[in-house]
Chains A and B, each alone.
Chain A
Amino acid sequence: MSEHPPTATGHPRGGDAVPGAVDPAVLSVAAETGPPTLAVRRDGDGVRLTWANEAARTLLEITAADPLGYALATVVPVRQPGPADWTTVVSEILGHRQSARLGLWHSACVDHPDPSRAGVQVRVADAGGGAFVVSLRAVEDDQRVAEEAARESEHRFHALAEHAPVGILVSESGVRLGFVNSRFVDITGVERRSLLGTQWLTAIHPEDLPGLLDTLDTVLAGVAAETRLRLVPVADTQRWVELRLAPVQTPRRAAGFIATVEDISARRAWETQLAYQAGHDALTGLANRRALVEALSVALTSRRLRARDAAVLFCDLDGFKQINDSLGHEAGDRVLIEVAQRLAGTARDHDLVARIAGDEFVVVLGEVASHADAEAAATRQLDALAQPFLVAGEAVRLSASIGIALVGEYETPTLLLQAADRGMYQAKRQGGGRFVSDAAGADGQEPRP
């Protein structure tokens, strides 16, 4: 059948002396000899038939000599009207102005004595001027079932995707997106139309984009993948998302993918906080005992592979108890925070500063050439603590006793810490404010230079 629908007067359109246009007579013949087609006009609440071609008259058993101008229901009587009857479908589309349904094929049935010929599809197209063209096509049962299933499936997908609590992306080809759901629009804070095609990639944090493109290569090659990345911040809020990507292979089309996007900002912040709490001292923010032992284990394991040794400095404050007793625990806690900051200030990049108990701190020097290097670090620490601490409106002074042990001389973290601890006690016995190196032995007490 011609693409030009007949007009409401029963004559095909498109023949008004347009140069090069198809002869209206040809269109008329095409319409008359084509598949079942009718022209109708909306009339108040009803629908009137204005034209029907030969195939339509045969299919619908229109026997009236001149059916034109009559209400559809009277020209084509239906013995058992139902929601799927084709006249009902047409009336619904026109009666409720369901413009979204115009131009689409809808399943229906005709009142035909042969059940195998009762299944049809009906399409209503707007011909302008209040006129509509109704096309009917007979369908085989299996074809209809398949098309309905496909349409149903698509409808279900859109409903599901649109209201899903996670973001959903569907590529139309390669990395180009053909669909994003409203949750993804919310997560990115970007208009939907600015996310389609390849524009969605501009919502990805520039530092995470190369990694995402690598992942997309993998996915388009047929392998599912997961990745975490940042979006470009919107309204000062940095969002982290987790993408789960699955490849989609469609016959005769370039490889594509479908992805779900979960906003994991809150979860990630919580995980970061938990990981921090597991390895850090809550008061001072330094590494805690657990993190210290892990670091020492690594240092001991790798010592034979490294050119330089590592050292442990065990630092115990002198006179801290008096501060706690005289100025209170809060003042004492603030002194500990300041001590921690000063010790951290003396550390280099590969050093670790830990607080393992009350006023006990341990500094692991990642690289030392000899005892002399460790002793120089201990001197820096004692100097840093020598400045007065202003707390509760008072300036108080502190010192520390430090014991030193080299990692290379011990087998386990416990032995290493015990050796440094022995040095610290020796320094304490000598009056504090000094360091003692364990390698110097019982007699090797090193007064502060």
Chain B
Amino acid sequence: MRADTTDTTTIYTTAPQGAAWRRSLARLSHALDNSRMFPALLIAPVLIFFIVWNVIPTLWMIGLSFYKYSLMLGNERFIGTANYLSLMSDDQVWAALGRTFTWVVVGVGVQTLLGLLLGYLFWGSRDMPGRRLALTLLFAPMILTPIAAGVFFRLIYEPTFGIASFLFRQIGIEVVFLNDRNLAFASVLLVDIWMWTPFMILITLAAFGSVPKAELEAAEIDRIPWLKRMRYIVLPNAKFILMLGILLRTIDSFKTLDLVYLMTQGGPGNVTDLIALLLRRKAFEAFDLGWASALGIILLLAAIAFTSIYLYILNQNRQRQQQEVI
């Protein structure tokens, strides 16, 4: 009885406090709803994260690029644009950029073509038994880390016991994949294509899936040949997503480091030395942080250029859609 009383009292005495607390919360919520600060508060955590992890390091890197700064010797001194001028006249940089350009154009080109082909086949075979399993297996390489794929293929290419070397030997051809100057680049690029073609298949499926069904059905009824159907209906509608995929792959491919580092370290000689490997070497072997920062800034600008192209295409697409609506 006493306990009940106590409980009742407790309830009685806390109820008004709880109500007051709720009223305060409601007032605060109302004030926030009407405040211009509310959106800012919502994005604050992301903004803080972005500033701490992106903006400050980038500014720091920009500043560092104007210094001669070796982590080893600690001889930090301001040298203006000397690092930029140095890397502009550095043969290694241009050679590495040339190889990276070939890497991106050939790699992304082949991935896109294969992605379109295989994506089209999967798109047109929705009722095929085992389609889901086949798709899952096909996407597996994309899920692997480049390090795992690198190790995997180093063993496959291994000249004495690798399965690829063995198979070629069976047909009387002695192939040394990773240390033949004529084959090393293609051998590593093949692994990149193997890894990232599934991504382009995925993009193709998403792109083709975005084609309005009504247009496809109309084409079916009108018995338009598949080539024309692709050219006038599918590709124009899928273009935007396909471009997005190509641009994402281009930016990513431009930064390739881990796979090549693990498989050849840029060799033999420098036939597989891409720009990201050169940057890594300067930053983490030579510890020439100023020069490496300058190169990093140049690569950042290149990535921004790619992104700008993407945004430009995006805007063009929006404008076109708006005009069609009007």
A complexed with B: no
